[in-house]
Structure 1
Amino acid sequence: MRIHLPRITDAKQALQQSLKISKAMASDVPKGHFAIYVGEYRKRFVIPVSYLNHSLFQDLLHEAEEEYGFDQPMGRLRVPCSEDAFITLISHMNGS
């Protein structure tokens, strides 16, 4: 007796496709950096991992958690601020 499980097969194919896309996107991020998506149009920034230790950036991540939760599409990290506000934040972090 053969059991056909189309949902599992479809889910497996979707997961494989998602992993291929994630690997392709991650390949252009240098070691020691990560990609973050900012603003209404989700502009992509590649920033150093060291920013994760900065209190201003941690506050921004907390806001992202409250706004979007942990279940973000394709594992992309999104933050709820404008591109200009993000650039200003990064400038302040670089100056301190």
Structure 2
Amino acid sequence: MPKKHDNEASTRRAPKGHFVVYVGKELRRFVVPTSYLKNPIFQQLLEKAADEYGFNSQKGIVLPCDEPTFQRVTELLA
């Protein structure tokens, strides 16, 4: 399951082997393992993010789903 960080931690970099995504209306920050990039389900989320937000988002990688859906997806990937 991805780690959720509070707002103070949002300025820190992700640990090696991980990256940050933002999810939901609140743009909650999650740190996820890079191994997720190999998964077709996660790749679809990234493709939808690119279609919806483009590649020049100032906020980083914003995934177009709500937090509960994201958590269910990541539970399947873990």
Shorter-chain TM range is 0.7 to 0.9
Q: Is 1:41 equivalent to 2:26 in the alignment?
A: yes
Aligned-pair RMSD on alpha carbons?
1.1
Gaps of 5+ in 2: 1-10
Gaps of 5+ in 1: 1-23
Q: Is 1:58 equivalent to 2:39 in the alignment?
A: no
Superposition misfits of 4+ residues, deviation over 6 angstroms: none
Aligned to 1:21: none
Cα drift, residue 92 of structure 1 = 1.3
Question: Which is strand-richer, 1 or 2?
Answer: 2
- 2:66 equivalent among 62, 65, 82: 82
% same residue: 41
Q: Scaled by the length of structure 2, what TM-score is found? A: 0.82
Question: Greater CA radius of gyration, 1 or 2?
Answer: 1
SS in 2 for 1:78: strand
SS in 1 for 2:75: helix
Question: Which one has more relative contact order, counting CA pairs under 8 Å at least 6 apart?
Answer: 2
